[in-house]
Amino acid sequence: MMYDLVVVGGGPAGVAGALTAALAGLRVALVDSGVRLGGQYFRHAATPKPAAGLDRFLRQGRALGTRADVLLRHQVWNVSSEPDGSLTVHCLTRSPAALPGDGGSAGSPGSVDSAGAAGAAGAAGAAGAAGAAGAAGAAGVAGSGERAVRVRARRLLIATGAHDRPLPFPGWDLPGVLTAGGAQALLKGGGVVAGGRIVISGTGPFLLPVAAGLAGAGSRVLGVYEANGGLGLARHPLLALGKAGEAAGYAAALARYRVPYRTRQAVVAAHGKHEVEAVTVARLDKDWNVLATRVVECDTVAVGYGFVPQIELGTQLGCRTRPDVDGGPVLDVDEALRTSVPGVWAAGEPAGVGGWRLAELEGRIAGRSIVADARGAVSGEVAPVIGRRRERWRAFGEALQRAYPVKPGWQGWLRADTLVCRCEEVPLARVREAQALGATDARSVKLLARPGMGWCQGRICGYAVSCLTGEPPQPPRRPIAQPVTLGALASLADTDLTGTDLADTSLTDAELAGTDLTGTDDPPAH
């Protein structure tokens, strides 16, 4: 069997897109690396505390679980286009079976990922292979407990979100220094406060909920240091953007817990022997050059300088990119969220950083466009009211990016021995050495000095290396998006989907008759 749609990413964009398509009768699979749906914004504990926005998302997730195959704990390492125009999503998982009851998000009866007899419904019988439900080929890799799983579909929605964009500084690799998103993930996903005495630094509105969350959960937040802006919370750009309620909420939370919010300041160094014990906080000029410093004792630091959208699945397929407002590459999509490659849509941060509301809206727009495409209709029609709403949220996201740029002065925070690349332990001196040898762009620096050649594939240091070479960040070249063992690759040869029923791919009349894609703008499953 082949799906009408495979969605990669189980956050607000992916779930909205998948649910919109599934409600219209399409056969949908959603793949996510996490243990529960939610992505970053709606990350939640196994037994989540009630909260309005999260409750609504969880209802959507439960609705999706009854109408689509939700494959959690599946990491996508490649997407390839097939000669017949379909797409194959290559995943790795250690999950033995779809586990029901994870916040209502997994374990639909026909789930792809149930471990079953080898050869079930079309997967050729490699020993130990699981290929239940006939939808995916799966093969066990001896020794590692890891299985390669393939999901084939007519269409792909890339809803892979974004990760924090850290900047290097002396001591940033000490344990106890986390990304702001990492601290948030610990709190949301595991109920764990990152530390007892925490300093938050970076730029952008995301620092505020992180600070409010940690303070509310019992951390002593010693300060929020926002490198941009000279105006303070009273003139925070959220206010100018019609988000007074949200900004006031954070301001009130910070005031309640007596958390200082300081603009034009940043953590420029972390100190400690085995873990962070103190940081240097600097007063900055408007270009982030250091004016004055002081030392603050703390046990934890959370840093974030904006976000890097995860677009490598799109670039693997040849999707065109464009520079986002901040210069970072994102997938170029039209008003119906179609990328430049037929059959491939993108929604949420990979199409431009804008937050969860925009992401969810884009997921729904993409879902509708995909449904229209599946029905053979022209898929570019977007209801004007929805298009305008998307433009408003896009303008909001772009205004925030403009209000919180990364300024070049951070490069002066680094010392010769400051690691730029954490994986390969490449200090600034080696980057400069490569440049002295004639490497003028980030790629040449990488080939000479190895920043970006390690486990993270340059996701963490790529932006910094681009800045250090004076080059705008380039679209990622990652033909393999996750580490994959040779054993997993070898197992694929044994699990060709020769039995795949290509004939059974179109919507039947009965299915179409049962669909109801109304023109209303109600959220899915609301």
Indicate whether 144 belongs to the interface with other proteins (CB under 8 A): yes
Q: Which is nearer to other proteins, 275 or 381 (CB)?
A: 275
Q: In whole angstroms, give the CA distance from residue 121 to residue 429.
A: 56
Q: In whole angstroms, give the CA distance from residue 168 to residue 107.
A: 41
Indicate whether 425 belongs to the interface with other proteins (CB under 8 A): yes
One residue of 97, 115, 124, 174 binding other proteins per CB under 8 A: 174
> Closest approach of Cβ 507 to other proteins, in Å?
35
Q: In whole angstroms, give the CA distance from residue 467 to residue 328.
A: 11
> Closest approach of Cβ 128 to other proteins, in Å?
16
One residue of 1, 22, 33, 140 binding other proteins per CB under 8 A: 33
One residue of 88, 105, 114, 179 binding other proteins per CB under 8 A: 179
Indicate whether 145 belongs to the interface with other proteins (CB under 8 A): yes
Q: Which two tokens stand for residue 79?
A: 């997407």
Q: In whole angstroms, give the CA distance from residue 162 to residue 482.
A: 15
Indicate whether 189 belongs to the interface with other proteins (CB under 8 A): yes
For 14, 25, 150, 436, the CA distances from 364, given in Å and listed in that order, are 9, 15, 25, 50
Do 211 and 254 form a contact (C-beta atoms < 8 A)? yes
Indicate whether 93 belongs to the interface with other proteins (CB under 8 A): no
One residue of 55, 84, 275, 381 binding other proteins per CB under 8 A: 275
One residue of 27, 67, 459, 478 binding other proteins per CB under 8 A: 459
Q: In whole angstroms, give the CA distance from residue 81 to residue 60.
A: 30
Q: In whole angstroms, give the CA distance from residue 231 to residue 155.
A: 47
**Torsion angle of the four alpha carbons 398, 403, 405, 410, in this order, in degrees rounded to the nearest 10:** -160
In three state form, how does the secondary structure of 10-34 look?
A: CCHHHHHHHHHHHHCCCCEEEECCC
Q: Which is nearer to other proteins, 26 or 148 (CB)?
A: 148
Q: Which is nearer to other proteins, 22 or 313 (CB)?
A: 313
Q: Which is nearer to other proteins, 129 or 301 (CB)?
A: 301
Indicate whether 397 belongs to the interface with other proteins (CB under 8 A): no
Spatial strand order of the sheet with 290-297 comes to 265-271, 278-284, 290-297
Residues 6+ apart with CB under 8 A from 455: 423, 483
Site residue total, other proteins (CB under 8 A)? 45
Indicate whether 88 belongs to the interface with other proteins (CB under 8 A): no
Q: Which is nearer to other proteins, 115 or 456 (CB)?
A: 456
Select from 58-66, 113-121, 191-199, 463-471 the region that touches other proteins (CB under 8 A): 191-199
Indicate whether 14 belongs to the interface with other proteins (CB under 8 A): no
Q: In whole angstroms, give the CA distance from residue 454 to residue 279.
A: 27
Residue 128, classed as helix, strand or coil, is: coil
Indicate whether 423 belongs to the interface with other proteins (CB under 8 A): yes
Residue 224, classed as helix, strand or coil, is: strand
Query: Beta strands 278-284 and 265-271: pairing type?
Result: antiparallel
Select from 39-47, 209-217, 233-241, 365-373 the region that touches other proteins (CB under 8 A): 39-47
Q: Which is nearer to other proteins, 120 or 279 (CB)?
A: 279
DSSP 8-state assignment for residue 343: T
Indicate whether 274 belongs to the interface with other proteins (CB under 8 A): yes
Q: In whole angstroms, give the CA distance from residue 24 to residue 34.
A: 26
One residue of 55, 142, 388, 455 binding other proteins per CB under 8 A: 455
Indicate whether 69 belongs to the interface with other proteins (CB under 8 A): no
Q: Which residues bind other proteins (CB under 8 A)?
A: 33-36, 40, 45-47, 75, 94, 144-145, 163-164, 166, 173-179, 181-186, 189-192, 194, 274-275, 422-423, 425, 454-456, 459-460, 483, 485
